[in-house]
Chains A and B, each alone.
Chain A
Amino acid sequence: MTQLSVPHLLGTKDLTKDDFNLIFETADNFKEIINRPIKKVPSLRDITIANIFFENSTRTRISFELAEKRLSADTINFSSSQSSVKKGETLLDTVNNILAMKVDMIVMRHASPGAPHFLSRYIDAKIINAGDGTHEHPTQALLDAYSIRMKHKSFRGLRVAIIGDILHSRVAISNIFALNKLGAEVMVCGPNTLLPKYISSLGVQVELDVFKALQWCDVANVLRIQLERQQIKYFPSLREYSLYYGINKSMLDKLDKEITIMHPGPINRGVELNSDVADSEHSIILDQVENGVAIRMAVLYLLAGTKGEA
Chain B
Amino acid sequence: MQKKLILNQDLLKITISRLCYQLIESHNDFSNSVILGLQPRGKYVADRIKEQLESLVKRKIDVGYLDTTFHRDDFRRRDTPKKANETTIPFLIEDKNVVLVDDVLYTGRSVRAALDAMISFGRPKSVELLVLVDRKYTRDLPIQPNYIGKSVNTMQSQRVMVEWKQHGGKRDSIWLFNNLDT
Contacts and interface: CB of A to CB of B under 8 A. Distances in A.
A36 B120 contact: yes
Interface size class of B (residues with CB under 8 A): 20 to 34
Contacts of A302: 81
Given A2-B81, A301-B81, A36 B70 contact: no
Given A26-B84, A29-B84, A37 B121 contact: yes
- Residue of B71, B79, B119 ringed by the most chain A CB atoms within 10 A: B79
Interface in A1-22: 2-3
Interface stretch (A39-47, A138-146, A258-266): A39-47
Given A304-B76, A305-B75, A32 B81 contact: no
Contact of B87 (A26, A32, A37): A32
Contacts of B75: 43, 304-305
- Residue of B71, B78, B80, B87 ringed by the most chain A CB atoms within 10 A: B80
A272 B81 CA distance: 42
A87 B130 CA distance: 63
Contact of A40 (B79, B87, B120): B120
A289 to B, nearest CB: 22
A233 interface: no
Contact of A305 (B67, B80, B121): B80
Contacts of A2: 80-83
A40 B79 CA distance: 24
Nearest to A43: B70
B80 A306 contact: yes
Nearest to B70: A41
A25 B84 CA distance: 8
Interface residues of A, number: 24
B116 interface: yes
Interface string B50-91: 000000000000000001011100011011111111110000
A26 B84 CA distance: 7
A40 B82 CA distance: 18
A38 B81 CA distance: 23
Contacts of A38: 119-121
Nearest to A33: B70
A86 interface: no
A197 interface: no
A153 interface: no
Contact of A307 (B79, B116, B120): B79
Contacts of B82: 2
B116 A36 contact: no
B69 A29 contact: yes
A305 B76 contact: yes
A67 to B, nearest CB: 13
B120 A46 contact: no
A41 B85 CA distance: 14
Interface in A104-134: none
Contacts of B71: 41-43
A40 B120 CA distance: 8
Contacts of B84: 25-26, 29
Nearest to B69: A29
Contacts of A306: 79-81
A43 B69 CA distance: 8
B81 A42 contact: no
- Residue of A36, A302, A305 ringed by the most chain B CB atoms within 10 A: A305
22 contacts: A2-B83, A3-B81, A25-B83, A25-B84, A26-B83, A28-B86, A29-B67, A29-B70, A36-B120, A37-B120, A38-B120, A38-B121, A41-B117, A42-B71, A43-B70, A46-B76, A47-B76, A301-B81, A302-B81, A304-B76, A306-B80, A307-B79
Interface of A: 2-3, 25-26, 28-29, 32-33, 36-38, 40-43, 46-47, 71, 301-302, 304-307
Given A28-B86, A33-B87, 14 more contacts: A2-B81, A2-B83, A3-B80, A29-B67, A29-B86, A32-B87, A37-B120, A41-B70, A301-B81, A302-B81, A304-B75, A305-B81, A306-B81, A307-B78
The 4 closest A-B pairs by CB, nearest first: A305-B81, A41-B70, A38-B120, A29-B84
Interface of B: 67, 69-71, 75-76, 78-87, 116-117, 119-122
